[in-house]
């Protein structure tokens, strides 16, 4: 099974290795793979949650993730992205590294106006 080209952002994701046409139904193959791997209580839709979480861990923002998942509302995207202990630890450690930009406070904004 092949993935479609990244340049084509719409349409089927999986292409038939025989015909090159987008696959419409992959449930049978997915169930067979789960059985072969002896995985229970897992559904194809669970992969959307995994995808959302993994791209968030690698730095994608909420708007990018919403676009990738096809969400119009960020509240739905929040349901698909899950903070992990690793990503939370990395966020806190970034304070030591100076990676996070300082949030402007009312006093720093007022001082900036006085200077300019």
> Looking at residue 36, what is its pLDDT?
97
* pLDDT at 116 > cutoff 50: no
Given a contact cutoff of 8 angstroms between Cβ atoms, the answer to whether 36 and 26 are in contact is no
* The pair of three-digit structure tokens given for residue 96, joined into one six-digit string: 């030591």
Query: Over the stretch 10-36, which tens digit does the pLDDT of each residue have?
Result: 677 778 888 888 888 888 889 999 999
Name the pLDDT band for 84 (thresholds 50, 70, 90). confident
Name the pLDDT band for 78 (thresholds 50, 70, 90). confident
Q: Which residue has the higher pLDDT, 105 or 65?
A: 65
């Amino acid at each position: 099974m092949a993935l479609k080209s990244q340049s084509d952002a719409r349409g089927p994701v999986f292409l038939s290795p025989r015909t090159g046409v987008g696959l419409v139904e992959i449930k049978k193959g997915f169930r067979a793979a789960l059985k072969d791997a002896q995985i229970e209580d897992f559904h194809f839709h669970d992969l959307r949650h995994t995808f959302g979480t993994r791209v968030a861990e690698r730095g994608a923002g909420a708007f990018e993730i919403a676009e990738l998942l096809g969400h119009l509302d960020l509240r739905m995207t929040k349901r698909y992205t899950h903070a992990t202990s690793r990503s939370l630890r990395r966020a806190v450690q970034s304070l030591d590294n100076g990676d996070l930009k300082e949030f402007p406070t009312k006093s720093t904004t007022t001082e900036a106006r006085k200077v300019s």
